[in-house]
Chain A
Amino acid sequence: MRLGTVLPIALTALLRNKTRSFLTTLGVIIGVASVISMVAVGEGAKARVASVFAAMGTNVLIVLSGATSMGGVSGGFGSLPTLTWEDLRAIRTQAPAVRAAAPALNTRATVMSADQNWTTTVSGTTPDFFDVRAWHIAKGSFFGDSEVESASKIIVLGQTVSDKVFGPGVDPVGRAVRIKAVSFLVVGVMQRKGQSPMGTDYDDVTYIPVTTFQNQIQGGLQKYIAGIIIVSAISGDETARAQSEISAILRDRHHLGPTEEDDFNVRNLTEIAAAQQQGTQALTALLAAIAVVSLVVGGIGIMNIMLVSVTERTREIGVRMAVGAKPWHILAQFLAEAVTLSMIGGLIGVALGSVLARVVASRLGWTYTPRVDMIVMSFAFSAAVGVGFGLYPARKASRLDPIEALRYE
């Protein structure tokens, strides 16, 4: 007796209980569909993160000042100002791998127009900032070095701030906003950039000259930069070199001995991107694991129904044994039923999961790339679930005593 004889018997038995077969399969369908769609969603998230970081610029470095240390408790980088304006100038002029560098002094403040207000980030910087980030203006213009020199009360708005304070679609260039009690002239609006990899809105920010920031918000010029320095390397491949050049310059300028720790921190966004990638990868693995659990639960459903089926068909098993079915014939028959159930579930699950993944991807504006290896794997896994969970009921059936089976009511 070959597969050709077992399979029709199994199929006939399954078709006799269509509703039950379908409901049993549903567990596997849901399991496989969730594996396929979860992995696709995870992959999509990964691709999305990669593209966001690519847009942000892989050649960007951030220099943070040092950490305070009080009784052994570190305040974290940036809590103790150690970077000076001279340091910034040195980075600009002495590091060959650095293309541009700009300070960024940030605070939260409420920006007011005549009738609206919006609390946002106010960032004091220099024109280099726009060069470092490779961000562009949508309306009006950036401020230039002369405005920084003269500490002009002018402001560039992010798109979100412009919408909130002046209303969507209104051109704010030439109009005035107030921050605290100071009136600023709007000279430009940034192009929309969307979200950062950490989910913050890049458009919910305003830029003013760094000197104006110091005068009006911090209250006076200071020796130290109360913020960060943001640097772009001459290319994406040169970030590591730029990083070490900056470190060398700053260690030298801060007179740090060979045994002393850095009183600053240079962060490479490429590394952060890699960390973020790892995060999404872990998330994908987690989602897949949950989906696999549901597939196992589906397998238990199959086992349950197969056990019911064996009990129901005890008499049939007895008849088959009486006319000459060997134990392994009975085993093969019930195993074939379980595997057929789980494989049909696997097939439908793959189809459903692919559709689901496509829908989710298009809703979120991601690209959907089907993972053939995952499809093959989850299908194979569902078949294995059928064998694994079908084996116990099938063995039970094959070990029945023919006489008792025939007597069973």
Chain B
Amino acid sequence: MTADPSLGPPLVAASDLTKVYVLGDTELRALDGVSLTVREGDFVAIMGSSGSGKSTLMNVLGCLDRPTSGSYSLAGQEVSSLGRGQLAELRNRTIGFVFQSFNLLARTSAVENVELPLVYAGLGRSERRERARAALARVGLGDRLDHRPSQLSGGQQQRVAIARAIVNEPKIMFADEPTGNLDTRTSVAIMALFQDLWRAGLTIIFVTHEPDVARYASRILVVRDGKIVSDTRQEPAVAEQAA
């Protein structure tokens, strides 16, 4: 890995992370000594086959899960010693999440879904609504505020999820197979949106197993058997939004 002078200070600093699952008599080392630094402004794709540990790495980095050992600091804060409530707060203020299966609340309008992180941040009703509208406008869904997930296409649902991830103006966005449930055309559109957000200054880490999707990132990590086996920088391919 070569240091890129255009990047800012380290945002993610993990060293020697392990995650061990005990299943009966057998131990499963999902993470086996992962060390990683991600600077502000990076756009990282984590690749690997299923069972490689890439999702576990993502969950640990995203503060959804805690490592069995190793140290991890996010935005200068040591995470491995934080309690559940403090982790929740970190997820709320510093992190945005996008999932493969969108994970929107059913029978809840788009704007209300986007407001959700702000509810837990303790914002008032009118400010929540205003910021949720702005976030939806940013992902190109300014005219779908009151639609419910069931009334939206897969691509639109993922856009709502992205709006929910960025509404709190996080420092970093994590995405777990964000295009896994989408067709190629929609996938490209979603990656174009990711690139827009990245260029506007958002640090993004996403998991994918498709090389086609990974080429839009500026850095590719390959995970195998719980270890990072390659870490390369590249000139990101430009995702053209289909008109």
Contact = CB atoms under 8 A, between A and B. Distances in A.
Contacts of A323: 91-92, 97, 116-117, 120, 164
A327 B92 CA distance: 13
Interface string A291-333: 0000000000000000000000001101111111111110000
Interface stretch (B8-16, B82-90, B185-193, B211-219): B82-90
A5 interface: yes
B103 A16 contact: no
B107 interface: yes
B222 to A, nearest CB: 23
A324 B121 contact: yes
Contacts of B69: none
Given A324-B88, A325-B88, A319 B120 contact: no
A327 B84 contact: yes
Given A323-B91, A326-B85, A329-B88, 18 more contacts: A1-B119, A1-B120, A16-B107, A315-B103, A322-B91, A323-B92, A323-B116, A323-B117, A323-B164, A324-B88, A324-B91, A324-B92, A324-B93, A325-B88, A326-B89, A327-B88, A403-B64, A406-B103
Interface string A321-356: 111111111000000000000000000000000000
B59 interface: yes
A319 B104 CA distance: 8
B105 interface: yes
Nearest to B55: A403
Contacts of B104: 319
Nearest to A398: B84
A402 interface: yes
B59 A403 contact: yes
Contacts of B43: none
Nearest to A328: B85
A83 to B, nearest CB: 85
A402 B85 contact: no
A329 to B, nearest CB: 6
A16 B106 CA distance: 11
B149 to A, nearest CB: 12
Interface string A389-405: 00000000000001100
A9 B112 CA distance: 11
B5 interface: no
Interface string A122-157: 000000000000000000000000000000000000
